[in-house]
Amino acid sequence: MSSLVAKRSSLTPKALLHQKYGSKACYKIEEVQESIDSSFPGLALPQQLGIQAKTDDLTPDEAWDELVARISYLFSAKFLSSAHPLVGHFREAIQREGMVPISIIAACDAKTNNLCKLIDPKGESDPLSVVILILKAARQCVSVCISGDLWIKNQNPFFPVMPVIQSEPTNSVLVEAIRIPCSYEGSIETLNLNIVPNKYYMDEIGRSLGVCDASLVLMSRTIGKASSEMRLYFSALGVPFLARDSSLEFLVNAQEHAEPIFNERASCISGQNIYGDAILANVGYTWRSPDLLHEDVSLGTYYRMLLNRLPDGGYKLLREAILAAELPTAFTTRLNWKGPSPRELLCTFCRQHRLSEPAFSLKNSTDIVSSEHKSMTLKLCDSVKSLKSVKEYEFRSDAVPDSSNAQSGMAGNFRCEVCILSKGNDVILEYIPEESYRKQNDAIQNASLKKRSALRKCSLSDQSCTLYDIEGPDSGVSPSQGFLACISYTVALVREGEDMKELLESKDEFEFEVGTGAVTPQLETCVTQLSINQKARFSVALPSKDLILAAAGGSAKYFAQLLSSDSFNEKSCYLEYSVKLLGVTEPLEDRMEQALFSPSLSKQRVEYALRYISESQATTLVDFGCGSGSLLESLLEHTTTLQKIVGVDISRKSLNRAAKTIHSKLSMNANHGIQNASIKFAELYYGSITDFDPRLYAFDIGTCLEVIEHMNEDQAHLFGEVVLGSFRPHLLIVSTPNYEYNSILQKAASPDKEEDADDKPSQTSQCRFRNFDHKFEWTREQFNHWASNLASRHNYSVEFGGVGGSAEVEPGFASQIAVFRRSTSHQAEDCMINPESSGVYERIWEWNNR
């Protein structure tokens, strides 16, 4: 423990500078060019080795000259002695008098491909455009010539210096590949490529595509890992050639009269235009070895690649929970986030789809209303082609809020705008957020997450769910909003009425944060109804076939046959989830409070409310922002004068859980005649507490405990006006965290262990909010000011108190409470509104024991 404290107290050089200069500190990164000194061979190695940095500033004419020179160089003795993957294809060319398919050069030589894209940007998405440019460049090379259709060879007798690799004779090998029909009516299926020693594998791929000439087989860029040779192969005869090039007339004549068909599924995987049937295969030459390398491509691999192209598919795959995980809708803290960060996910998505790196613009919220602090604005990726600006952002501190505002308890200070551009700098999508965050990293991560969520195309959220009986005793510990839940689960394909249950997916331990959309809605609904060590099963309708086969993995071939069999009836099948809740971790706010207070602050707030209920002899109570009904449930454990209790909340999921727990307890009390059997009526409503509903007018007592801080500050002010000006309860109890108490709570909760890795030393002067979902937290002065002005405007008196701590000892109570009392001179107004009139709230649940 002492070592942790010592480590925390030591400040980095950057923190020391910020401590001395504050927001005036600005850090810049400059590239230093090291001089080449032959006496120190370890310095400037790239220059000494003759490696030149890649330049994208060539003009099209300069790129053309480079391309012609590159084609000549590829057929030189110097190149053929290298370890370049193309050399393997040249060795194969010995068998055919030195002829090499132009498509091989277009796909396997990165420099040639990049030069072609500089000349014609269409080469990024169109493999044939690159082939045409190489064809034209080859005609200007005196050392090479075009032979046949799309073959290229050396003018001289073929490569007398060509190194021939003598390898032991081997038998032919069957390599599994995937055939992707151009029509959606055609099924994705596996095929075997017969790789025979001393024969060119491109001939075998051409034969499988129905092409007799290997030069007519076009190749996509590599797919997946950089070291992989997985590519899509398709026939050049399936590509539309009209208005392309006069040299391709022979291809136009060879084409069938049928209209070329765009292969949407293959194009989705490669990010290039693919026409006609395609073959996905992992075979070719690499830098690692002169031998031909090959690996099987399974049906499950194809469907996982397809899923990975979707906005939330990559997250599902990384979490290894395709049928359970969803891309969360909110980034809370790094401690609770599972998997790669939202920013990393968004950048990966852009790279997959050949888009420029996302451009981030991070601003301090004060810039929106004032132009006096322009230095507070940070720009990420000023030019989407430059990554240096990203590094510059990471080291700047001029946007860190001044410590003089640390005690204000204001809402977030940073907003992050995100823009995604194409390679041609055309705007694809732009996101301008309304929310602001106290941390720069939180603003960036949430903006990235919402940007990617907007692109989401694959979701199970529209499926219905049937929940079966819950197994096991109720331990009393269940997850709710903000909890980390740890579960084990299995997902099986079940055929109704038959003894068929095929396992698709299972996890022994899977952790997620409740309330952030990190799993399918059906799974979260199930988990929130369980307590630790309880089990449950539920079923959902079948999702898309592609998603099922992606989850099947190595068994995808079997499931594909099952789903396409004549006996398979989709309507009679469903997915069955079996779930067990292994454990829960409470939110940081609850852990902080429990570390310092016993009983917890939540229980103390209930006791505080009970005292006023008893004093006022209240018979009706409405809880504004009741959530999962914790207060209402707690009231049922005490004997009170209450006869009618009502809860209002904006979360249907929380209301459903509240209905379950309250109904169970009310029924038990009524049946056994114990404790609070005096309650005759209970209701739960769905709606916003800033909207007035006359059915809740003039209740004896209203409560709003630890709710307003979850609203935007202007909405909290609006609630105050609505509750006292329209609902007008005789007594209103409002509690909210005391921001000044946070430093004590955070120290008690061992912040060394809880602190986010993204918290900068410069931010230590600011206390964190107690919950990531808090939009603001007020000091005592701010809360007193709000409550006093509100009471005076609506003829209420107000008294202040709290729980946790003492009013006489700084910094006061941990949870500050205002009790509003309605003036007796205005009691006659109660008859002015008919409580039976229709309202704006939707009744979710009702219990009547009258």
Round to the nearest angstrom and report the end-to-end CA distance of the chain: 59
pLDDT above 70 coverage of the chain, percent: 77
Tokens of 275: 């026409």
What pLDDT was estimated at residue 404? Answer: 36
What are the distances in angstroms from CA 629 to CA 685, 705, 737? 12, 11, 19
Query: Which residue did the predictor score with more confidence, 479 or 372?
Result: 479
Peptide bond into 163 cis (omega under 30): no
Give the mean pLDDT of 521-548.
91
pLDDT at 385 over 50: no
pLDDT of residue 81: 85
In this prediction, residues 538-566 reach a mean pLDDT of 90
pLDDT band for position 498 (50/70/90)? confident
Q: In this structure, how many other beta carbons lie within 10 angstroms of the beta carbon of residue 435? A: 18
334, 337, 339, 343 alpha-carbon torsion, rounded to 10°: -60
Instruction: Give the mean pLDDT of the chain.
Output: 80
Report pLDDT digits (tens) over 215-243: 899 999 999 876 789 999 999 887 875 44
Contacts by 259-268, CB closer than 8 A, 24 or more apart: 261/182, 261/183, 262/182, 263/180, 263/181, 263/182, 263/234, 264/184, 265/180, 265/184, 265/188, 265/306, 266/180, 266/182, 266/220, 266/232, 266/234, 268/306, 268/309
| % of the chain beyond a pLDDT of 90 | 40
Q: Does domain 60-154 have CATH number 1.25.40?
A: no
Amino acid 249: pLDDT: 59
Q: Which CATH number fits domain 589-755+767-848: 3.40.50.150, 3.40.1080.10, 3.40.50.300, 1.10.760.10?
A: 3.40.50.150
What is the Cα–Cα distance from 352 to 313, expressed in whole angstroms? 12
The Cα–Cα gap between 269 and 313 comes to 13
Whole-number pLDDT of residue 353: 82
What span, in angstroms and rounded, lies between the C-alpha atoms of 618 and 816?
A: 23
Q: Is the pLDDT of residue 383 over 80?
A: no
Please give the DSSP secondary-structure letter assigned to residue 636: T
CATH class of 465-585: alpha beta
Q: Where are the extended beta strands (E) located within 139-184?
A: 144-147, 151-154, 173-180
Whether the per-residue pLDDT at 804 is higher than 70: the answer is: yes
pLDDT at 122 over 80: yes
CA quadruple 800, 805, 807, 811: dihedral, nearest 10: -110
Q: Looking at the DSSP assignment, which residues form a beta bridge with residue 295?
A: 282
Q: For residue 335, what pLDDT is reported?
A: 80
pLDDT at 242 (0 to 100): 45
Name, in order, each residue with C-beta under 8 angstroms of 641's C-beta and a sequence gap of 6 or more: 613, 614, 617, 618, 619, 678
Q: What pLDDT, in 10s, does the model give residues 260-313?
A: 789 999 998 998 999 999 999 999 999 888 889 999 999 999 999 999 988 888
**Is the entire prediction scored with pTM above 0.75?**
no
List Cβ neighbours of 603 (8 Å cut-off, separation of 6 or more): 634
- Domain assignments of the chain as residue spans, ordered by start: 60-154, 328-454, 465-585, 589-755+767-848
Distance CA 322, CA 317 (A): 6
More confident site: 700 or 199 = 700
602-614: per-residue pLDDT in tens?
A: 899 999 999 999 9
- Does position 570 have pLDDT exceeding 70, yes or no? yes
Question: Residue 28 pLDDT more than 80?
Answer: no
**Biggest alpha carbon distance in the chain?**
111
> How confident is the model over 401-418, as pLDDT tens digits?
333 344 445 545 788 888
Peptide linkage before 811 cis (omega within 30 of 0): yes
Q: Which of 749, 731, 747 is nearest to 817 (CA)?
A: 731
pLDDT score recorded for residue 696: 96
Q: Is the pLDDT of residue 48 over 80?
A: no
Mean pLDDT of all residues in 620-630: 94
Q: Is the pLDDT of residue 1 over 50?
A: no
- Tell me if 487 sits within 8 A of 481, measured CB to CB: no
Q: What is the pLDDT of residues 173-195, one digit of tens each?
A: 999 999 999 998 889 999 999 99
pLDDT at 32 over 60: no
| Domains 60-154 and 465-585 belong to one CATH topology | no
Q: Are 804 and 604 contacting, i.e. CB atoms less than 8 angstroms apart? A: yes
